[in-house]
């Protein structure tokens, strides 16, 4: 399907911006990427396949996302690190009634205070994005995580 260039640009921008805000530890700006009623779910890929729709993180609206961020900031004191998101190009599946369905493969490289980097996790963002009326915003973001064995997984948003 063909996507209008300005919608494509808005979608790609939101996805890239939101990743960069985490990398810069600008979590307030990250949260601004979400609509007030946005859902944010982090789920192991395995659960999807096995039919258990249970998330590691399950926030039903933006207020819950904010609560979560406060907790994460606290946890982070004991697990100081840098994140770096590497994103594959986004795929826009459909745009219907002002909502774009978008998938973006990603990986996160994490670097500790000694400057050692490692592959932290990989997965796919499955997003519903409001487009065409004001700035693009996430209505729903499901982070489908391939990696689920990492004990420090939840110390930052992904």
Taking the complex as a whole, the smallest distance from the CB of residue 15 to a copy of itself amounts, in Å, to: 8
Taking the complex as a whole, the smallest distance from the CB of residue 128 to a copy of itself amounts, in Å, to: 18
Choose between 62 and 138: whose C-beta lies nearer to a copy of itself. 138
Taking the complex as a whole, the smallest distance from the CB of residue 96 to a copy of itself amounts, in Å, to: 18
Q: Cβ(141)–Cβ(125) under 8 Å?
A: yes
Choose between 19 and 59: whose C-beta lies nearer to a copy of itself. 19
In degrees to the nearest 10, what's the CA dihedral of 153, 19, 49, 62?
A: 90
Chain residues in the site for a copy of itself (CB under 8 A) = 2, 5, 9, 12-13, 16-17, 19-20, 23, 44-46, 82, 84-91, 103, 105-107, 109, 111, 114-119, 121-124, 146-150
Choose between 79 and 148: whose C-beta lies nearer to a copy of itself. 148
Taking the complex as a whole, the smallest distance from the CB of residue 97 to a copy of itself amounts, in Å, to: 22
d(Cα 142, Cα 106) in Å, to the nearest integer? 13
d(Cα 93, Cα 2) in Å, to the nearest integer? 10
Taking the complex as a whole, the smallest distance from the CB of residue 61 to a copy of itself amounts, in Å, to: 28
Choose between 123 and 157: whose C-beta lies nearer to a copy of itself. 123
CA angle, 47 then 18 then 20, to 5°:
115
Q: What is the pairing mode between strands 57-59 and 137-145? A: unpaired
**Strands annotated E in the chain:** 34-44, 57-59, 81-87, 91-96, 99-112, 117-130, 137-145
């Amino acid at each position: 399907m063909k996507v209008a260039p300005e919608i494509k640009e808005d979608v790609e921008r939101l996805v890239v911006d939101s990743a960069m805000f985490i990398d810069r530890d600008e979590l307030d700006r990250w949260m601004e990427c979400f609509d007030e009623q946005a859902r944010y779910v982090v789920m192991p890929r395995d659960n999807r396949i096995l039919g258990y729709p249970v998330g590691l993180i399950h926030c039903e609206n933006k207020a819950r996302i904010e609560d979560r961020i406060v907790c994460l900031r606290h946890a982070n004191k004991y697990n100081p690190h840098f994140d770096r998101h590497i994103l594959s190009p986004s795929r826009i599946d459909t745009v219907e009634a002002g909502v774009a369905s978008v998938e973006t493969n990603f990986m996160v490289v994490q670097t500790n205070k000694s400057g050692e980097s490692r592959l932290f996790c990989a997965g796919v963002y499955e997003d519903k994005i409001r487009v065409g009326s004001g700035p693009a915003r996430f209505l729903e973001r499901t982070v489908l995580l391939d990696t689920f064995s990492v004990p420090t997984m939840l110390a930052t948003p992904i």
